[in-house]
Chain A
Amino acid sequence: MENIGSNSILNSPKYKAVAYGMLFIVCLLLPKIITNMYYLGIINYIILYTILCMGLNLILGYAGLLSFGHAAFYGLGGYTTAILIKRYGFSFLPCPLLSGVVALLFGILLGLPTRKVRGDYFCLLTIAFGEIFRLVAQAWIGFTNGAMGIVGIPIPSILGWSIRTEADFYYLGLILLAFTYITISLLIHSRFGRAFIAIREDELAASVMGINTAIYKIIVFAIGCFYAGLAGSYLAVYQTTVTPSNFRLEESCLMIIMVIVGGMGSLLAPVAGGIVMTLATEYFRSISEYRMLIIGVIMVAVLLYRPQGIFGTSAFKD
């Protein structure tokens, strides 16, 4: 939702091309500049969370559906990749896509009730789904290896490029992030994106505009979940393990906070939210027993004093 004509220099195509070009070069050269593996690792987590948040932002920021189940879809992606590679000997290349598709299919399934179930009940459905996913992953030892999780996922390789170092994972993450950004940007700048916003703003008025709100809610939910699956696939090979505790409700909440802190309903805000929150978690690691306390306080404080998010547009604030 750019404000048309807000700043003529910033909006001129020439300036944009130069800015994007420079950003692109900086992104490519980043592992050459930052050689510290620890810092690069943090950047990789930022990328991972940004992908997750961009998907969630579609659901939460654009369509206004509150989902507490994002971590479950992230987990579905993670387990899909882990099981495909470890159990069925797949190569890594098709895995991100397949993981995304599995998450997408479950997204459609969970999205179906939005036809009948009102806002906060839907939110409860997503909580229930998230818990069912985690509990089943814990209890179904034969398939998911229970609470121990699936460990020792081998080093992935794509067409001879074996992804081994932090820098390699950085590039893999960058490719996934670019894919995420471009596809979401295409979607948002079409009639679909506007329909999502209309549903968020006023569902009844949206239906009178000719928008089939039931179908569009399913579409936006499922597509948002697709990106969670994608991120899950990345996590599986990056971390080489997936365990049920990776995908707790707490994780969903963290993503929601990231989207809120960044600002709901704007394309780049999740990046900001992802950076701020990942750095904050990293910075507060030494006092990790206060982690949830800090998250909780940030949640309440941001919404009380700046509901549009730190970098957000005015959406949701009236």
Chain B
Amino acid sequence: MFLDVLFIGIMIGAIYTLVTIGYSMVYSILKLMNFAHGDVYIFGTFICYTLLGKYHINPFLAILVAAVMGGILASLVEIIAYRRLRSEQHRMISMITALGAAYVIQNCNELEWGNQVLDFPSILSAHTFHFFGMNIPLTQIIILSIAVGLIILFTVFLKYHPYGKAILCVSEDIPTASLMGIPINKTISMVYFIGGMLGVFGGILYSTSYNAVSLSMGFRGTIIAFTAAVIGGIGSLSGALVGGMFLGICENFIGVYVSTSYRDPITFLLLIIVLLVKPTGIMGAVEQSKV
């Protein structure tokens, strides 16, 4: 029982990590809380839902199309709502437009798909494994391996691909990166695109594992992503991983051993405690402000 819960927790954690990466990257570059992140990924998940349920398209194609559309939406939001405000001194202002953008997307999602919980078609087989006394459905193993694979793929991209290096460079210092000849606007759009795509992958995996998708998962996803990012230490890949895993495992244990209706309040409480005890997150470094 304990190991079962732990395994599912790890799977959820891996999915949360996917969702958190995009969020954390945006934060590390622009210091912007991207409130629209969750609504973007739920948009992608809904697209996948429609493609699978209505048009019966090949699942791999459907996932790919949904991810690309999520990515495009994410970069559109950046271009329309955030880009003009990047030079604004008060970051509060772009935070509020971010929330406005989230509202617009959420409302559009609601108009198209409503606010009820929808049955997400199961893509994977329901075969169950017995392994060291655990009962693990094949689905969970596949989901976990896809999530881990994507995380590894993204890490490799960031470390070795020229575009990945450009992203790292921009996140260090925008003016310097610009002087080095890195196209800032393009790179930032790319960050949003990749972040949105990873988010959609996370959303689809999550929906597959629970066979459900609903509008409210969007905002919850934003909060989860931010919470995980902060808990782990915002702006770093390892932070996203630690935070996502921590949150996924904790949540699953609380849900099973305490009560599902107190799952979210306890999650938020955890966040508050982490912020109070170690505001920079578990993996975060101390920042000294310059006078």
Contacts and interface: CB of A to CB of B under 8 A. Distances in A.
Interface residues on A, range: 35 or more
B62 to A, nearest CB: 27
B113 interface: no
A51 B108 CA distance: 32
A191 B106 CA distance: 43
B100 A303 contact: yes
A117 B103 contact: no
Contacts of A290: 107, 111
Contacts of B3: none
Interface string B135-173: 000000000000000000000000000000000000000
A296 B264 CA distance: 26
Given A120-B95, A291-B107, A296-B104, 4 more contacts: A121-B275, A296-B103, A297-B100, A304-B85
Interface stretch (A28-36, A123-131, A163-171): A123-131
Interface string A65-79: 010000000000000
Given A124-B226, A124-B230, A204-B291, A118 B100 contact: no
B237 interface: no
Contacts of A299: 96-97, 99-100, 103
B108 A139 contact: no
A251 B77 CA distance: 23
Interface string A287-305: 0011111011111100110
A293 B103 contact: yes
Contacts of A260: 96
Contact of B100 (A64, A66, A300, A316): A300
B97 A300 contact: yes
Contacts of B88: 307, 318
B31 A120 contact: yes
A45 B63 CA distance: 46
Contacts of B93: 303, 307, 316
Contacts of A124: 33, 226-227, 230, 271, 275
Contact of A296 (B31, B84, B94, B102): B102
23 contacts: A66-B92, A117-B279, A120-B31, A120-B33, A124-B227, A127-B223, A128-B271, A131-B264, A138-B261, A139-B262, A290-B111, A291-B107, A293-B111, A296-B100, A296-B101, A296-B103, A296-B107, A299-B99, A303-B85, A303-B96, A303-B97, A307-B93, A318-B89
A299 B101 CA distance: 8
B99 A119 contact: no
Interface string A270-314: 000000000000000000011111011111100110010000000
Contacts, number: 125
B272 interface: yes
Interface in B239-285: 261-262, 264-265, 268-269, 271-272, 275-276, 279
B269 A132 contact: yes
A132 B276 CA distance: 16
Contacts of A136: 265
Given A135-B265, A253-B99, A121 B279 contact: yes
A64 B275 contact: no
Interface string A123-151: 11101110110011011000000000000
Interface of A: 64, 66, 113, 116-121, 123-125, 127-129, 131-132, 135-136, 138-139, 204, 249, 253, 256, 260, 289-293, 295-300, 303-304, 307, 316, 318
A136 B74 CA distance: 33
A290 to B, nearest CB: 7
B103 A128 contact: no
B23 to A, nearest CB: 12
B110 A295 contact: no
A95 to B, nearest CB: 27
B110 A289 contact: yes
Nearest to A299: B100
Contacts of A120: 31, 33, 91, 95
A293 B101 CA distance: 9
A45 B253 CA distance: 44
Q: In the complex, which of the residues B88, B97, B106 has the most CB atoms of chain A within 10 Å of its own CB atom?
A: B97
Contacts of A64: 90, 92
Given A289-B111, A307-B88, A123 B95 contact: yes
